[in-house]
Amino acid sequence: MRQQYPTNIHIVRLPCTGKVDVNMLLGAFVEGADGVMVAGCEVGSCHFLEGNVRAKKRVEYARKKLEEVGIDPQKLEMYHIAASEGPLFAQTARDFTERIIQLQGKKQGPEQENPNPGTSKASYGPHETPIQKPTQQGHE
């Protein structure tokens, strides 16, 4: 059974979240992602020993860098979700997308309304790293 998660999410599959690097995380924002969600194995159950622990440290570092340049660090998050937990992954993706939408609403005044309500961007991965890509306005 396929799990349903927001269609504006772009999943980047990796063999391990230990392959996620800071440039990949920050690059997603440079490319227009509204948020990045990294989903990796639960602590202590990484097939590659400590890949998920390294990824968590990289996510924490990237969050500091985002804050330094004025991007809300809450737009980057790491979750520990086993690859076998598809329903949990899908629910977490929906929750994270909603969080990104709410964070965008806090920054926008009435004159800066989101032209695409209900859209956001993000990234993940229990062997996946979804990145929500922006919609292309004016490129139909």
- Domain membership of residue 96 (yes or no) is yes
The single-letter DSSP state of residue 23 is H
Domain count, the chain: 1
- The confidence band for 96, taking pLDDT boundaries of 50, 70 and 90, is very high
Phi (first) and psi of residue 61, to 5 degrees: -65, -45
Buried b or exposed e, range 47-86, using 16+ CB within 10 angstroms: eeeebbbbbbebbeebbeebeeeebeeebbbbbbbebebe
Mean pLDDT of 125-131: 45
Q: What is the mean pLDDT of residues 34-44?
A: 91
Between strands 9-13 and 128-132, the pairing is antiparallel
pLDDT value at position 136?
41
Residue 139 lies in a domain: no
Q: Is residue 91 part of a domain?
A: yes
Output 41 or 63, whichever has higher pLDDT: 63
Q: In this structure, is residue 122 part of a structural domain?
A: yes
140 located within any domain: no
Per the domain annotation, does 137 fall within a domain?
Answer: no
pTM of the model: 0.73
Residue 2 lies in a domain: no
Residue 100 domain boundaries:
9-109+118-132
